[in-house]
Amino acid sequence: MLKSLNKKAKIENESGLGTNSSLSAGRFFNKDGTPNVRTSGMKFWEKINWYHTLLTMPRWKFGLMILLFFVIVNLLFAFAYLAIGIEHLGGMVANTNAEKFGEAFFFSAQTFTTVGYGRINPIGFIASTTAAFEALCGLMSFALATGLLYGRFAKPKSYIRYSKNAVVAPFKDGIALMFRMVPYTKNYLVNVEVKVTVAMKVNEDGQTKNRFYNAQLDIAKANTMTSNWTLVHPINEDSPLYNLSKSDIENAATELLIFVQGFDESFANTVISRTSYVYGEFVYGAKFLPMFEPTSDGKSTLLHIDKLDDFEKVELGVEF
C-alpha cells in the first residue's frame, strides 16, 4: 500500500463511502453506476421497494411479471368459481371437467378485464359477489399497471454510454488520464457537469484506509452534449496520481468514480449518471480514435457509437 500521496491533491472527506478499508471490498461502483453494496439484517419484505423494483427492472421481466400476475389471478378465481359450483355460472356449454375449467378461467379473464361478453353470467349471491370483487380487483390492478407503465416510460434517464477503458495518454507537455462518453439517443443534455473522484487505499499510521481525492478535469462543464466528449484529467502537481507509477496505482487499488449531471430537454428534468474505472481498466500509452466524420454530402456529421471504445497505442514520452 502507498505510504504517502501528493499532499497538494484535495481530499474529499464527504464521499459517504467510508474510510476504513477493512470494512469494504471490491469496487465502490459497478460499471452501470449502481453501488457495489449488498444489504442484510432486514426481513425480505422490508428491504424490497416494490415501486422502485418495478420501475427499474428490465422490460422483459416487467412484461413477464404482468403476464404471470394476470394468469395466476385468473387461475385463482377460476378455482373459486369451480368451488362455488358450475351450476352458478349460467350459459356454460362445456361437458368435460377440462372444458368447464377453461370456461371458468375465461369467464374470470372477461370479468377481471371488465370485458364481459355476456354469454356466461353469475347466478346467485355468492357467485355474483365473487364476480363483483374480481371486477374491482381488475380495475385496481389495471390502474396500478397503467401507472407503472407510464412511470417506466416517463422516468428520466441520462442515456449516456461510457468507454470500456480509461487511457493514460500524452496531453500537452505531460500526460493525462482520459475516458469518454457519448449520448446514444436524441435526448440531448444541456448544462452538463462532470465530477471525478479518485479512490485509493493508503497506509496511514500502520492502517490501510480509503482516501478520496478530487480529480480536476481540463474541461468539466459543457453547455450541451450532442456528440462524444473526452474527459481529461491532467496528471500534474495537483493530481493525486502525480509521481505515481503503474505499480503504485495498482497497489493502491485505485478507482476512478465518475458523476455526471445534466438537464434533459425531453424530460424537462435533471438527470444523473454514474460509472467507475478500476485500475485494471486503465490502458497506459493509448489514445482514443475519432468517433465522427462528415457525411458523404458534407452537410452533417456522422457519429459512430460503435467506435466509443476504439483506441490506438502511443508512446507516453515520460516514465510511468
- Using one digit for the tens of pLDDT, what is the confidence trace for 123-145? 999 999 999 999 999 999 999 99
pLDDT at 92: 79
The mean pLDDT value for 304-314 works out to 92
Confidence band for 17, pLDDT divided at 50, 70 and 90: low
- Delimit the domains of the chain by residue range: 21-38+157-313, 45-154
Confidence band for 240, pLDDT divided at 50, 70 and 90: very high
pLDDT at 208: 81
The CATH number assigned to the domain with range 45-154 reads: 1.10.287.70
Average pLDDT for the chain: 86
Beta-carbon contacts of 206 under 8 Å, excluding residues fewer than 6 positions away, are: none
- Using one digit for the tens of pLDDT, what is the confidence trace for 180-189? 999 888 778 8
For residue 115, the SS3 value is: coil
The mean pLDDT value for 206-234 works out to 90
Confidence band for 75, pLDDT divided at 50, 70 and 90: very high
State the fold for domain 21-38+157-313.
Immunoglobulin-like (2.60.40)
Task: Retrieve residue 121's grid coordinates.
Answer: 353470467
DSSP 25-63: -S-SB-TTS-B-----SS-HHHH--HHHHHHHS-HHHHH
Instruction: Name the percent of the chain lying above pLDDT 90.
Output: 48
Gyration radius from the chain CA atoms: 29
pLDDT at 20: 62
Strand partners, 175: 170
- Using one digit for the tens of pLDDT, what is the confidence trace for 59-68? 999 999 999 9
Confidence band for 1, pLDDT divided at 50, 70 and 90: very low
Neighbouring C-alpha atoms within 13 Å toward the C-beta of 12: 19
Q: Note whether 313 and 284 are within 8 A (CB).
A: no
DSSP 207-253: EEEEEEEEE--S--EEEEESS-EEEEEE-STTSTTTT--HHHHHHTT
